[in-house]
Amino acid sequence: MSSKTNLSAMKKRIRPDGPEKVTGRMKYLTDLTFPNMLYGKVLRSKEPHAEILTISVEEAKKLPGVRAVLTHKDVPGLNGFGLIFPDQPVLCGNRVRYVGDALAAVAADTEEIAEQALRLIKVEYKKLPVLDTPEKALQPDAPLLHPGGNILHHPQFIKGDVETGFFDSAFVVEETYELPRQMHAYMETEGGVIVPEPDGKLTIYVGTQHGFKDRFQLARILDMPESDIRVVSSPMGGSFGGKDELNIQPYGALLALATNCPVKIHNSRQESVRAGLKRHPMKITMKTGVDQEGNILAHKVKIIADTGAYATLGPAVLDFAVEHAPGPYIIPHLEIEGLSVFTNNGVAGEFRGFGGNQITFALEGQIDRLADKLNMDPLVFRLKNLRKPEDPGPLGQKIAPTNGALDVLQAIEHSHAEKAKRWQQETSDKWKVRGTGIAITMHGGGLGIDRMDPAGGRLSFTKAGKIEAAFGFEECGQGLLGVIETLLIEEFSCAETDIKIVIGDTALVPVSGSSTASRSTSMVWQALQRMRGSFRKEVLELAQLLTGITADHLQMGPSGIWLKEDMAAAGPCITFKELAERMPSGRSINVHTSFNFPTSPDATVGGSHYLYAFAAVMARVEVDLLTGKVKVNAIDQSVAAGPVVSSLGYLGQIEGGGVMALGYTLMEEAIMENGIYMTDNFDTYLIPTICDVPYKTSVEAIEKLVDGDPFGPRGVGEIGTVAVSPAIVRAIFDATGCWVNKLPVSPEFLLKSDRLGEVRPWI
């Protein structure tokens, strides 16, 4: 794969954790071991929906080497967890609602003994009707999966009058789009070690994206003060949203307290498939009308999301999809309705893109179909209806002024349109046809209005003479350490060796909110803007005290404090180490900040955003007319997300997100039938390999912001995944004439299409 980017002028700083990762020296949290460590296993339901009649654990307890067997009776506090509603039982006592529901937890001397103990636990069920689709769950006579019914969340938004808009329309397109259940497919499955401390406290070494939220939930389950629980959450081998919710933490903690020994739990891939979160499957029906000139007049949307057995972040994911249903287009008449529905399927939760992928696929599908009806160039049609810098957000809320939508579309057109045209005209195998497609998206950062979204940080000057930056974020593979290091070096002109970064440990860091929602880079940048002046002032005042040189003539630099007029000198006038050693007793330098992620002052719909990033994608595909196989030859992305902090990190996020979206588009689907996963490993769940990665990609970063914008860089951890699918699908239409409304794109579907038959050469 070759890649080019306009970020070459930026410092391509190697990630601080890079060498350890690529050499295999890094110890992830599931690699840790402790003296007297036991191994934990969780017995999970084999039934998607059933009443529990009995759970017999006596035989398991008798097995030599078994140290503890726990059921719901052994949960001392709240027997429930969930980031929004604590509706998921830690250990089920009366009823199971999906095949991943936990029934019992075992700790033993070895993993093999623990697995044997699970086989000795006898569970007697009374099977109940399985609601394996939202449609079944919405039937009037469907059994209620929760006391409040089978509808988890039902947001709505109305502006204008869509029926009037449709009446005035020259063309109306109505289509239903179906989006699949997708696995996060992180390399390190859920796991870690929970250690009971001599003073009765607990240390949780488990991968998570929000250590403080885990601590809050565990305190309720264990009936312990939060202050007695320490969560160490970095480093971990990937998450993509899948480790934002509690997974093995409650079971390891309960077993550690019961045995007074460290307990390690590390899910197998099969256990991860059954119990882990997935991307929400959605069925989205859209009806969109335009006038003869191509102005979008009306847009009616209904979203049905299968949230599975429990809530997790289902309401927030649906709110995000509702908010982004109009996308970056100005539409006078809107009617948007969302339904998040409980079923007996696997639990769906947070996943990179957070509902944006599903709704953007449908919206951009509508745009392409309307452009075809109008016989108008799809890019011209988009430009005609695109928002302006001062226009309100998708649901009419005030947002930070931005010209990102126009910038990314024009960048794609100027940089790639002619190249794609030449490529499409090149000679190809007679049994293959080529096509090009574009798509655009806007993506809100942060948790949105009416959601607790705190941020904060701390800068300290340590006794060892280090500039220490502490943030309550986690390194989950996204490159946050590199971002923090780069920002510190830029702010204080120091060297890498002058820095100490502390993240991912609730005992050592301030509350900074979750490492989710494309917010971490933005919040680190904003925190440093608030702290840098005070920190620099205190450091230079200390240097003035120790050197006698007034602070006005000093500045921070590599290894210490330098004279402003003599930066070409052989070294600093006082080193950071000397500064620390000579610091007066009782004096310290610690600067703190706390604030909230910026939100819209007038938003009326929960979760609505204020800061947005934008991306445009051009995809080039080749379709084999004999097999129906789609090969993606290139994915070009233009992204407007403010200043780039780490060029390599930026490139990695967008390219990696593009490949993940390619899998979502062409091959990935965690199929369930009657509430049972049809695949339980990667031998039957296909994800992209290096052979599937486009041999040409490019990433263009548009760094400019509207004059006076004080918010700095927006996050790019998600946006690289969002608009890839509709661009690929449009390219398939361009090549074959086949409209696709269901992912993943099936070769069988293409082969059966009458339109594909029309473009096949005569045999």
For residue 484, the model assigns a pLDDT of 95
The DSSP 8-state label assigned to residue 46 in this structure reads: S
The mean pLDDT value for 184-204 works out to 97
The mean pLDDT value for 106-114 works out to 98
Is 700 part of any domain? yes
Q: Are residues 486 and 443 in the same domain?
A: no
Is 528 part of any domain? yes
The mean pLDDT value for 661-668 works out to 98
The CATH number for 256's domain is: 3.90.1170.50
Residue 298: what residue type?
A
User: pLDDT grade, residue 8 (50/70/90)?
Assistant: very low
Q: Are residues 430 and 458 in the same domain?
A: no
For residue 696, the model assigns a pLDDT of 85
Measured distance CA(646)–CA(18) in Å, rounded = 14
CA angle 431–436–441, rounded 5-degree value: 145
Token pair 């942060």 is at which residue?
446
Residue 673: what residue type?
E
Query: How far is residue 460 from each of residues 463, 499, 525, 536, measured CA to CA in Å?
Result: 10, 10, 16, 11
For residue 336, the model assigns a pLDDT of 98
Query: How far is residue 428 from each of residues 422, 425, 622, measured CA to CA in Å?
Result: 12, 8, 9
Token pair 């794109």 is at which residue?
745
β-pairing, 202-206 vs 229-232, is parallel
The mean pLDDT value for 498-517 works out to 94
Report the percent of the chain where pLDDT is more than 90.
89
> Is the predicted pLDDT of residue 759 greater than 80, yes or no?
no
> Is the predicted pLDDT of residue 470 greater than 70, yes or no?
yes
Is 161 part of any domain? no
Token pair 């950071």 is at which residue?
576
The mean pLDDT value for 293-318 works out to 98
For residue 569, the model assigns a pLDDT of 72
Closest CA to 83 of 352, 310, 379: 310
Q: Are residues 378 and 291 in the same domain?
A: yes
Domain count, the chain: 3
Mean pLDDT (the chain, rounded): 94
Question: Does residue 415 contact residue 360 with C-beta atoms inside 8 Å?
Answer: no
Question: Does residue 599 contact residue 453 with C-beta atoms inside 8 Å?
Answer: yes
**Domain end position, chosen among 540, 564, 596:** 596
Q: What is the CA radius of gyration of the chain?
A: 27
Residue 202: beta bridge partners? 196, 229
pLDDT tens digits, 252-261: 999 999 999 9
Q: Are residues 376 and 394 in the same domain?
A: yes
Q: Classify the C-alpha dihedral 11-16-22-23 as positive or negative.
A: positive
Token pair 């719901």 is at which residue?
72
Is 708 part of any domain? yes
Q: Are residues 360 and 298 in the same domain?
A: yes
CA angle 593–596–599, rounded 5-degree value: 150
The mean pLDDT value for 547-556 works out to 95
Is 611 part of any domain? yes
> Is the predicted pLDDT of residue 31 greater than 90, yes or no?
yes
Q: Are residues 584 and 667 in the same domain?
A: no
Higher pLDDT, 419 or 313: 313
For residue 13, the model assigns a pLDDT of 80
Question: Does residue 324 contact residue 443 with C-beta atoms inside 8 Å?
Answer: yes
> Is the predicted pLDDT of residue 7 greater than 90, yes or no?
no
Residue 302: what residue type?
K
pLDDT tens digits, 139-180: 999 999 999 999 999 999 999 999 999 999 999 999 999 999
pTM reported for the whole predicted model: 0.95
Is 643 part of any domain? yes
> Is the predicted pLDDT of residue 2 greater than 50, yes or no?
no
The mean pLDDT value for 181-197 works out to 97
Question: Does residue 720 contact residue 657 with C-beta atoms inside 8 Å?
Answer: yes
**Domain end position, chosen among 596, 611, 633:** 596
Angle between helices 480-492 and 647-666 (to 10 degrees): 160
Q: Are residues 114 and 257 in the same domain?
A: yes
> Is the predicted pLDDT of residue 573 greater than 60, yes or no?
yes
In three-state secondary structure terms, 623 is strand
Is 168 part of any domain? no
Q: Which residues are CB-contacts of 249 (< 8 A; sequence separation ≥ 6)? A: 192, 194, 204, 206, 208, 214, 218
In three-state secondary structure terms, 418 is helix
> Is the predicted pLDDT of residue 568 greater than 90, yes or no?
no
User: pLDDT grade, residue 6 (50/70/90)?
Assistant: very low
pLDDT tens digits, 401-421: 999 999 999 999 988 778 888
> What is the number of H-type helices and E-type strands within the chain?
19, 30
The mean pLDDT value for 343-350 works out to 97
Q: Are residues 589 and 606 in the same domain?
A: no
The mean pLDDT value for 425-433 works out to 84
> Is the predicted pLDDT of residue 191 greater than 70, yes or no?
yes
Helix (H), strand (E) at residue 434: strand 432-444
> Is the predicted pLDDT of residue 443 greater than 70, yes or no?
yes
Q: Are residues 682 and 569 in the same domain?
A: no
**Domain end position, chosen among 259, 275, 291:** 275
Measured distance CA(630)–CA(622) in Å, rounded = 6
Question: Does residue 43 contact residue 77 with C-beta atoms inside 8 Å?
Answer: no
Q: Are residues 313 and 404 in the same domain?
A: yes
For residue 760, the model assigns a pLDDT of 66
Domain interval for residue 49: 30-128+187-238+243-275
Token pair 């099977």 is at which residue?
127
Question: Does residue 381 contact residue 374 with C-beta atoms inside 8 Å?
Answer: yes
Question: Does residue 193 contact residue 164 with C-beta atoms inside 8 Å?
Answer: no
Beta strands in 186-321 (DSSP E): 191-196, 202-206, 229-232, 263-266, 282-290, 296-308
Question: Does residue 91 contact residue 72 with C-beta atoms inside 8 Å?
Answer: yes
Measured distance CA(266)–CA(244) in Å, rounded = 16
Token pair 């990695």 is at which residue?
652
For residue 763, the model assigns a pLDDT of 44
On the 0-12 / 13-18 / 19+ scale of CB atoms within 10 A, 2 is: exposed
pLDDT tens digits, 200-219: 999 999 999 999 999 999 99
Q: Are residues 320 and 433 in the same domain?
A: yes
Measured distance CA(465)–CA(11) in Å, rounded = 25
Is 523 part of any domain? yes
For residue 745, the model assigns a pLDDT of 97
The CATH number for 565's domain is: 3.30.365.10
Q: Are residues 556 and 646 in the same domain?
A: no
User: pLDDT grade, residue 429 (50/70/90)?
Assistant: confident
For residue 761, the model assigns a pLDDT of 61
Closest CA to 304 of 334, 326, 280, 279: 280
For residue 480, the model assigns a pLDDT of 93
For residue 11, the model assigns a pLDDT of 57
The mean pLDDT value for 213-234 works out to 97
> Is the predicted pLDDT of residue 482 greater than 50, yes or no?
yes
In three-state secondary structure terms, 225 is coil
> Is the predicted pLDDT of residue 272 greater than 90, yes or no?
yes
The mean pLDDT value for 549-568 works out to 90
**SS3 of 392-415:** CCCCCCCCCCCCHHHHHHHHHHHH
